[in-house]
Structure 1
């Protein structure tokens, strides 16, 4: 079966005037237009292509690389708006359509929006939706506490940032656990800190517990090496000073310098931290 909105590995079966015809294992065929035909090819060889519907609603294969695929999230720019909806740049010749009913907020030309790409059952066309929460489900979780997860920043709230977890679930990073600038669409790494009643996911950036020591210790070592072996912070420094300098919490900072001190990498004095020469 040839999958619309996805990459397909298909076989070149014949050359024609408009381009190459490709086939899957079930003998379903699709055209690769001349503009996408590689300089060198052989009948019978396999080629990876992206398949979608062209401007005339015909299934077509291309070698362009889209910014988003079916059942994925991505931050896309709005190129145009008309009476029916918005048209988004997703790296393809034909723009991705987002109807008004699928817009969380009315889109404007030139704006950037986090959207989900799916197939509209009525038209069989790929469309976008900025109502991303509709495509997340926390009823049956596929993650557990302390699992490392992939995140996409969705939208801010008064208490933190809402994130998409592993492209499946909704999660929240509280403001107290944010030590870096975050923008809509940012791809981040995090950990499930806690699963609250209702399968609500509390997420933190980085890693949890003892696993959080090494990355932060490495960050401190890099800072010392880049600043003549001196860091104007101690375990008595304020949380704000630590956050501004290293983008980490005071708790993580104290664990990290404690680890480095035990390994005899640093010396901690009243006026700051010094890198030990070896």
Structure 2
């Protein structure tokens, strides 16, 4: 058995002029020649993505799609028909969004946030814009300080609603945003707070000490790459700090404070200086 719309690790059954067949417990699934790695032999195992080709046959590829079944991703419409739209998801065959699964009429060239799913009737991988009902905070699978995957869902007056692990929704508040983001952006974050009625606040980046440690290591690396000195300090503008370090001023101050206590840096009137070990 193979999982359609997912990555599978399969063994090579036999080779043919136009590729190799991989073991699916039946007659085998073709991996076309253009995707066969050099030196691949019978009984070798290979990680491949499985989907249906234009003739409805299961096919394997070593190409990586922009999402697998269950993922919520932003994709661009390349063809629009009366039956639906085809979106570019990084494979030779575009993914189909039936007209019944569209919020509004899709336009060629526009980008849309969709969820990839496996159609129960056809067994094929497809996409839908109508997945809001699948997002629920009734039974949470996360807790405070958990690291999570985030997808930006929509803009609000206080920031952005984000999708958490393709299951829940939370809010990324305006004061926690330090770069330009748009709907469909994917990023790592963590659960900051779970409030009444399972309302979730999230933050981009790593949680707790690990987050500070990671940013401290980055500051040390940048210091070493710039002859041990950087012209940034607690009076620098937040925008300047973010543009150079890719972190908020608050995170910068926490990280430099940690490095100062460890006697790895010193503060000068104009910046920070790396101390010799």
Using the size of structure 1 for normalisation, the TM-score is: 0.80
- TM-superposed deviation, 1:226: 5.5
Alignment of 1:226-241 (within 5 A): 229-234=229-234
Say if 2:263 is the partner of 1:274. Answer: no
CA distance in 1, matches of 2:223, 2:40: 54
Contact 1:151 1:189 in 2 (8 A): yes
| Structure 1 segments of 4+ aligned residues over 6 angstroms from their partners | 15-19
Using the size of structure 2 for normalisation, the TM-score is: 0.80
Say if 2:90 is the partner of 1:91. Answer: yes
CA distance in 2, matches of 1:139, 1:116: 20
Q: Alpha carbons of 1:41 and 1:244: their partners in 2 closer, same or farther (altered >3 Å)?
A: closer
The aligned counterpart of 1:200 is 199
Q: Alpha carbons of 1:105 and 1:258: their partners in 2 closer, same or farther (altered >3 Å)?
A: same
CA distance in 2, matches of 1:120, 1:163: 25
- TM-superposed deviation, 1:194: 0.6
Say if 2:4 is the partner of 1:4. Answer: yes
- TM-superposed deviation, 1:12: 4.7
- TM-superposed deviation, 1:142: 1.6
The aligned counterpart of 1:185 is 184
- TM-superposed deviation, 1:110: 1.6
CA distance in 2, matches of 1:266, 1:86: 56
Q: Alpha carbons of 1:231 and 1:13: their partners in 2 closer, same or farther (altered >3 Å)?
A: closer
The aligned counterpart of 2:58 is 60
Q: How large is the RMSD of aligned CA atoms in angstroms?
A: 3.3
Which stretch of the first structure deviates more once superposed, 99-108 or 241-250? Answer: 241-250
Unpaired segments ≥5 residues, structure 1:
none
Which stretch of the first structure deviates more once superposed, 192-201 or 33-42? Answer: 33-42
Unpaired segments ≥5 residues, structure 2:
none
CA distance in 2, matches of 1:245, 1:34: 45
The aligned counterpart of 1:29 is 27
Q: Alpha carbons of 1:264 and 1:135: their partners in 2 closer, same or farther (altered >3 Å)?
A: same
- TM-superposed deviation, 1:257: 2.9
Query: 1:11-47 CA distances to partner (integer Å, 9 max, x unpaired)?
Result: 55566798755443xx433441755684766555555
Contact 1:266 1:273 in 2 (8 A): no
Alignment of 1:1-278 (within 5 A): 1-13=1-13, 22-24=22-24, 27-32=25-30, 35=33, 38=36, 46-57=45-56, 59-65=57-63, 66-222=65-221, 224-225=223-224, 229-234=229-234, 246-269=245-268, 271-278=269-276
